[in-house]
Structure 1
């Protein structure tokens, strides 16, 4: 059966979009990517997205059959279940459920990271930093020798955490390095994910500049130190 035509509706900075893009790139299937200006959402996008958010995945199976998926993990699970290539979950049901739980944990870590980056003041930023560091300490306890979350095989937990770690690649090392102090397994994992081809290709080359511009527009407490 031929593969469907896939279109990923995207935003250049969205970490949830990156999850889906990483899985698509790992599966090595062709797809089109369309970026949307979320500050001026087009009518066609609002008509497709129940939440008004990205990502969306348009799935065209041919013969006039087209569907739209929303929510990043629903999209990733669909891609995992329908596309060829290596599985992003283990076969064992218990191990698979465990990894899905860490996927949820990754979403919580993403929320703390986002709060840290976009905080308007140092007090709020430091509170979010502490919450993020607590989550890093939790996951450092369960990581093995790597290079990925479950060992040699790149999986869904890796696809979820890679965009979280990317946030900190655009910051000055004096800001980002202390957050990862004391979690050596996480540090090694972060480096490995950053070097993976699918992770690198999930964003455009101007991602760092776009990210810094976003923090400046949001009047983030980090914007001034980054420019200093």
Structure 2
């Protein structure tokens, strides 16, 4: 076992009142050998999103989708309320400390719920597919944020969704190591323009992130066009 990084942090760093946590990142040499990868000519393409964390298609043309439970939306409202109350308190007072500790607990619960859901989903997907090769788009969550030129509620809600729900890259990591343990392989490809190009004729359309249904001149009307282009 080779240790790569050690990080020590505190849930409530103010005067060290929180619990100290040690995070260790290491390369593990598994005791049992990893099953060797064999290409069985079966493939599954996956497109990741916000409202639908997974949209997938296999070589037989079978689609399936998984909606994101969005536990972050439930917790964000409560966390915002606590932060608003905390802003009206004197920093360091008993009331401020109590609200601060409550806010930290809510953040931890939100993060743990998302992580638990992704662990269970990635395990289910790996176990329930016969494809030994899984293709996913190399998602860059930071680039999904809207520019400052975009104004209004849509920009704020979408930026918060992509960044707070931006555990999508972590979900790919879960898929990758679970696949390797079962003799499967996850391949990342550049998904540039996969959402803008028609999967039938290849015509490129101007598709902002909030528009999911493509209507092409060739007669193709489809939702989540990305996953087909990722498979192709």
TM bin (shorter chain): under 0.3
* Structure ID, larger Rg: 2
Instruction: Give the structure with the larger strand fraction.
Output: 2
TM-score (norm 2): 0.27
Instruction: Give the structure with the larger helix fraction.
Output: 1
